Amino acid sequence: MSSRAEQLAMALDEFVQASTEVEAAAVVSMDGLPMASALPPQIEEDRLGAMSAALLSLGEKAAEGLGRGDLAQIFVEGEYGFVFLMAAGETAVLAAITRPSGKIGLILYEMRHTSSKIASILDQPTVVQMPELRTAADPLG
């Protein structure tokens, strides 16, 4: 079985391959710490994490303060493309940076699929292997 980090990396790779307009993607904790990423060299993982946390905080306050309920996603349109943030369970967010030519509906469809996969990876219980205990009566001990 692969590690949680490897599973997150595979989910991101599948997302980027399925969505050709996605230039960069990352899984970020709610407090902005990177968990996994598929980023080009010009995008710093820590910077994307910090910006995602800031956007999430502001988005949550706006949604709550305006009576819109829990925040589901954030969409930013810039001159050179889009930034999407989507909840991936209770503890993480999927961030995607896309080209301006991206089909928003298809990107969001793939993001929903990927964020669900990420949530299930992060919700897996952690299995800790305990060493065998030997007793004085144990002939191998």
For residue 88, how far is the Cα from the chain centroid?
6
What is residue 135's predicted lDDT score, i.e. its pLDDT? 59
Q: Is it the case that residue 71 has pLDDT exceeding 70?
A: yes
pLDDT of residue 136: 61
Which domains are delineated in the chain?
4-122 (3.30.450.30)
Which residue spans within 32-125 are E strands per DSSP?
34-38, 73-78, 81-87, 92-98
Q: Which residue has the tokens 């669900």?
A: 116
Q: What is the mean pLDDT of the chain?
A: 88
Is 129's pLDDT higher than 90? Answer: no
Tokens 């930013």 locate to 76
Q: In which band, very low, low, confident or very high, does the pLDDT at 128 lie, cut at 50, 70 and 90?
A: low
Q: What is the pLDDT of residues 72-110, one digit of tens each?
A: 889 999 999 999 999 998 889 999 999 998 889 999 999
Contacts of 96 (CB under 8 A, 6+ apart): 15, 19, 22, 24, 25, 82, 83, 84, 86, 107, 111
Interval 19-54: pLDDT, tens: 889 999 999 998 899 999 999 999 999 999 999 989
Q: Please report the pLDDT score of residue 131 as a whole number.
A: 62
Q: How far apart are the first and last CA of the chain?
A: 30
